[in-house]
Amino acid sequence: MKYTVVLTAGYPSIARDLLAGEFDVIEHPTEQARSEEEVITLLAEADAAITLLSDPLTRRVLESNPNLRMVANYAVGYNNIDIDAARDLNITITNTPGVLSEATADLTIALILAVTRRLIEGDAEVRRTGECIWEPLHLLGTGLQGKRLGIIGMGRIGTAVAHRARAFGMEVIGTRSGQPIDELLATSDIVSIHAPLSRDTHHLIDGAALASMKAGAYLVNTSRGALVDESALCDALDAGHLRGAALDVYEREPAVTARLLAMRNVVLAPHIGSATEEARTAMARIAATDVRRFLHGETPLHVVV
């Protein structure tokens, strides 16, 4: 009898290529948001699964199928998984670290350039008017040379962002998880968030943190949406305390706060930090390889639990 591997989304084909033949593979179409009940139904036949960050793997979900022994989360983060429950139930959890660092760092720099040079505003104007308007004071942005970039979370991605920022002539300061961020917020022209989401970092950037930021600064988030209190961010932007923001992640994904949608000085990307062919394929290869290793009785290479 073959093991059954459930794929909860339409992953790059390498995932199926590595698993089909040896195992029964059940593929499901990608869904933006699923309930616990829906995930329980999806995983009912699974011995192992490759899951999305948006799939809620709560204790109730993990307990629902006693045959489920392994979950490969198709992400670096795993805040969608009840890690304590997985440990209690002896379910192995893996992730896909490392391979999306360069792609996410590239997007971070793209967002910084887009918001500081008002690129999205300019694009919208040209499309709306059908004209290229050149005036000395029109759509003035700000240069990056000599500006200070504060990086919250100097892990793989934060470090990759720092390397790129220095090439633009920026001064870079950074903190690691758990370190104070007061000075960084108060002195940085641009703050870029690359910290993991946990109970301790939920709303790390709240109203008080935003108020302590340098007047006229920019906030960039390519990490996890719930690190930022979006209502407080909108207040800071409305008040003119912040000059702009650029976001690839949102507090209540897939929903986006309506106030953000109306702001011209906010760049909004649809969670595409790792969205290169190279990165997404590598993530699928890592997840499927760890599933194969586990089902063959070998230790996966990227174990979280």
Q: Which residues are catalytic?
A: 224, 253, 271
Q: What whole-number distance in Å separates Cα of residue 110 and Cα of residue 114?
A: 6
Alpha carbon distance, N-terminus to C-terminus of the chain: 27
Cα–Cα dist 40/171, whole Å: 48
Distance CA 175, CA 152 (A): 5
Which one-letter DSSP state was computed for residue 262? T
Neighbours of 135 (CB within 10 A): 7
Residue 170 amino acid letter: M
Rounded distance, CA 100 to CA 284, Å? 11
Burial group, residue 238, by CB count within 10 angstroms (0-12, 13-18, 19+): exposed
Identify the residue whose tokens are 């709240």. Answer: 206
Residue 164 DSSP code: H
Beta strands in 48-147 (DSSP E): 48-51, 70-73, 92-94
CA distance 149 to 187: 9
Answer whether 273's CB lies under 8 Å from 248's CB.
Answer: yes
